[in-house]
């Protein structure tokens, strides 16, 4: 019987209790392969979503290139499935939960504070987000496509990070300490920019852990350090907590793998970097624990909004104010300031009541569990090992978002649903890879 392969430092070793069933070769994940047009449409949409070229080339704005790319991808996928007599979608727990959340949002429209506004919100934002979630689940059906998309997102994060560093160095601030954001719909203010960089960063680390090329590892390590630094210069408190969660999780995983030397090196780098932090940044972080010390009044206002949102949910636990109506609901409770509650979980609770929050919580938990299962069960062959690293990156990106969601009104935006789509896709790829590579993969004992 063949012996276990030597584990390189950048790859997660097999968990305890692993046995090799058959001494045979590695199998490739083939997947069902939806048309290449659909995948290309998804890549183009992703580029427009993250990099926002229309913000720099105004002539592109009236062309609605993001919509065209999404429609092309969705149409190609549906056409491929109809022509080949396949179901219109992958079916799983996450798909069912998402559908239930959409149905509940529609059911609550008649009782909304502004039914027309909720309908517009559904059509303009939420349905589009869910459509891309569906596209990800059904198009990213091979390991090669998952890897390509992860690389694409990682590289797309570079201009975001460079812009943050440029704005900080040039003094392009929106107020005394906060840099202006990146010219994109999901990164227009520094808090959103920090959140985007934080959910992209674990994907870069996943590729780093899976990479076999020294050049690729060097590039990815540079990108990771660049994005982490960019998060810091946004002066986002939620961004700092999300980054700390991401770094802490990866360091904990490395300790469990016995790579304490690398953990020590990372801790020393972080400690050395902290010396270079400006005093104004440390003072801003101090307001996380001492809200009243914030001279801008931002922390106090957000805490007041949080309390108002909780009061509204207690008074309206079942139905809520209607999708997209949290601002109107809070105006009723604490006076008209026309500001959203900066907490995605409270957004769901205020808009859709506790049933909506529960459905989202179940969806979030299910996605994390899915990629965690892939990470733990993926085996020792090259494909399975790469899938394990990417699944770990998606898992930590989801948890990073989960931390950031406590401080941002992003309940219905692409941040989570894009990661959720990747999580479900990774689970489907693992399911297909398992039978195809049974004689060459590692199987985790319970």
Q: What is the pLDDT of residues 308-359, one digit of tens each?
A: 999 999 999 999 999 999 999 999 998 888 889 999 999 999 999 999 999 9
**Mean pLDDT across 13-18:** 42
Query: What does the pLDDT read at residue 439?
Result: 41
Q: What is the mean pLDDT of residues 404-430?
A: 96
- Residues ≥6 apart with Cβ < 8 Å to 130: 98, 102, 417
| Mean pLDDT along residues 106-110 | 97
Residue 300, in any domain of the structure: yes
Structure tokens at 149: 């998309």
How many other CB atoms are found less than 10 A from the CB of residue 415?
25
Q: Answer whether residue 225 is part of any domain.
A: yes
Whether the pLDDT of residue 107 is over 90: the answer is yes
Residue 20: per-residue pLDDT: 35
| Contact assessment for residue 294 and residue 177, using Cβ atoms and an 8 Å cutoff | no
Mean pLDDT of 118-132: 96
Instruction: Dump pLDDT digits (tens) for 154-196.
Output: 999 999 999 999 999 998 888 777 899 998 889 999 999 999 9
Q: Tell whether 375 is covered by a domain.
A: yes
Does residue 6 register a pLDDT over 70? no
Residue 344 burial (CB count, 10 A):
25
pLDDT at 17: 39
Least confident of 62-76, 225-239, 288-302, 430-444: 430-444
**Range from 19-23, 227-231, 357-361 carrying the lowest mean pLDDT:** 19-23
Task: State yes or no: pLDDT of 48 exceeds 80.
Answer: yes
pLDDT at 22 over 90: no
Q: Say how far apart CA 444 and CA 30 lie, in whole Å.
A: 22
Report whether pLDDT(417) > 70.
yes
Tell me what pLDDT residue 130 has: 97
Does residue 216 sit within a domain? yes
C-alpha dihedral sign at 252, 256, 260, 265? negative
Q: How confident is the model at residue 414 (pLDDT cuts 50, 70, 90)?
A: very high
What is the per-residue pLDDT for 24? 31
What's 25's DSSP letter?
-
Report yes or no on 274 lying in a domain. yes
Q: Let me know how long the chain is.
A: 446
Residue 401 has pLDDT above 70, yes or no: yes
In a domain, 361, yes or no: yes
The reported pLDDT for the residue numbered 159 is: 97
- With the CA atoms of 305, 333, 129 and 119 taken in that order, what torsion angle do they form, in degrees rounded to the nearest 10? -160
Domain-embedded: residue 14: no
Lowest mean pLDDT among 6-10, 33-37, 338-342, 381-385: 6-10
46 and 12 in contact (C-beta within 8 Å)? no
**Is 41 contained in some domain?**
no
pLDDT at position 244 over 70: yes
Task: Tell me if 350 sits within 8 A of 313, measured CB to CB.
Answer: yes
Residue 152 belongs to domain spanning = 89-444
pLDDT reported for residue 32: 42
Which among 369, 357, 383, 341 is positioned nearest to 427, based on CA atoms?
A: 369
Q: Which of 79-88, 112-121, 274-283 has the lowest mean pLDDT?
A: 274-283
For the chain, the domain total comes to 1
> Stretch 222-231: mean pLDDT, rounded?
95
Burial (Cβ within 10 Å: 0-12, 13-18, ≥19) of residue 166: middle
Phi-psi domain of 29 (left: phi exceeds 0; alpha: psi -120 through 50; beta: other): beta
Percent of the chain with pLDDT over 90: 66
The lowest-confidence range among 28-32, 114-118, 295-299, 397-401 is: 28-32
């Amino acid at each position: 019987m063949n012996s276990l392969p030597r584990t390189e430092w950048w790859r997660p070793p097999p968990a305890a209790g692993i046995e090799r069933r058959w001494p045979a070769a590695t199998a490739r994940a083939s997947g069902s392969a939806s048309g290449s047009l659909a995948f290309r449409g998804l890549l183009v949409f992703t580029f427009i979503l993250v990099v926002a070229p229309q913000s720099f080339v105004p002539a592109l704005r009236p062309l609605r290139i993001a919509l065209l790319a999404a429609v092309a991808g969705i149409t190609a996928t549906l056409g491929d499935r109809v022509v080949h007599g396949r179901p219109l979608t992958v079916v799983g727990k996450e798909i069912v939960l998402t559908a239930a959340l959409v149905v509940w949002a529609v059911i609550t429209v008649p009782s909304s504070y502004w039914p027309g506004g909720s309908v517009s919100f559904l059509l303009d934002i939420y349905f589009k987000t869910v459509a891309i979630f569906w596209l990800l689940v059904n198009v990213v059906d091979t390991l090669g496509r998952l890897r390509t998309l992860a690389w694409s997102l990682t590289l797309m994060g570079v201009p975001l990070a460079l812009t943050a560093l440029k704005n900080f160095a040039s003094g392009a601030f929106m107020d005394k300490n906060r840099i202006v954001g990146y010219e994109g719909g999901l990164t227009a203010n520094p808090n959103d920019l920090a959140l985007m960089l934080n959910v992209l960063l674990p994907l870069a680390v996943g590729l780093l852990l899976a990479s076999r090329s020294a050049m690729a590892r060097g590039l990815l390590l540079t990108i990771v350090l660049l994005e982490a630094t960019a998060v810091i210069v946004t002066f986002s408190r939620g961004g700092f907590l999300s980054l700390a969660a991401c770094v802490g999780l990866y360091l904990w995983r490395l300790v469990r793998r016995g790579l304490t030397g690398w953990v020590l090196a990372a801790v020393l780098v972080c400690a050395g970097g902290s010396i270079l932090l400006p005093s104004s940044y440390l003072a801003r972080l101090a307001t996380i624990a001492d809200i009243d010390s914030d001279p801008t009044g931002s922390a106090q206002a957000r805490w007041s909004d949080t309390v108002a949102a909780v009061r509204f949910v207690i008074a309206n636990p079942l139905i809520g104010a209607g999708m997209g109506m949290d601002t109107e609901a809070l105006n009723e409770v604490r006076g008209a300031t026309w500001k959203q509650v900066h907490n995605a979980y409270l957004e769901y609770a205020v808009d859709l009541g506790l049933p909506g929050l529960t459905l989202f919580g179940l969806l979030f938990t299910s996605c994390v569990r899915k990629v965690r299962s892939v990470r733990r069960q993926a085996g020792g062959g090259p494909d399975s090992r790469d899938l394990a690293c990417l699944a770990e990156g998606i898992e930590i990106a989801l948890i990073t978002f989960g931390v950031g969601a406590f401080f941002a009104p992003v309940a219905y935006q692409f941040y989570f649903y894009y990661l959720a789509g990747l999580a479900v896709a990774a689970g489907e790829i693992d399911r297909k890879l398992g039978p195809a590579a049974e004689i060459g993969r590692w199987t985790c004992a319970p």
